[in-house]
Amino acid sequence: MMLGTKNERIHDLIGRLTTAIQEARNVGLDNTAWLLEVAILDLKTIAFAISDEDLRQFTEAVADRLEIPKLPPH
């Protein structure tokens, strides 16, 4: 059993997933690499206590900067 705080375990998992992303890319599994990147983003929102609303505002700001059309609210 792995010891450490929840954040330490999350950061360890992020490190392992980062390695897995590179391995996936090396064998041409780009969609898998993308999914692992999404998993890392999810873990970072937990580790750094980023709310869904904060994440939404950030992605909208990036979309505005890059002129990406926004999706209507659901």
Query: Is residue 2's pLDDT more than 60?
Result: no
Residue 1, in any domain of the structure: no
Q: What pTM does this model have?
A: 0.71
9's tokens: 């375990």
For residue range 3-61, what is the model confidence (pLDDT) as tens digits?
789 889 999 999 999 999 999 999 999 999 999 999 999 999 998 898 989 988 888 88
In this prediction, residue 52 carries a pLDDT of: 87
- 30: which residues sit within 8 A by CB, 6+ positions away? 24
pLDDT at 59: 83
Q: Is residue 71 part of a domain?
A: no
Look at residue 45 and tell me if it is in a domain: yes
Buried b (16+ CB within 10 A) or exposed e, 45-57: eebeeeeeeeeee
Place of tokens 């059993």: 1
Query: Domain for residue 73, yes or no?
Result: no
Report the distance separating Cα 48 and Cα 43, nearest Å. Answer: 9
State the residue range of the domain holding 14. Answer: 6-66
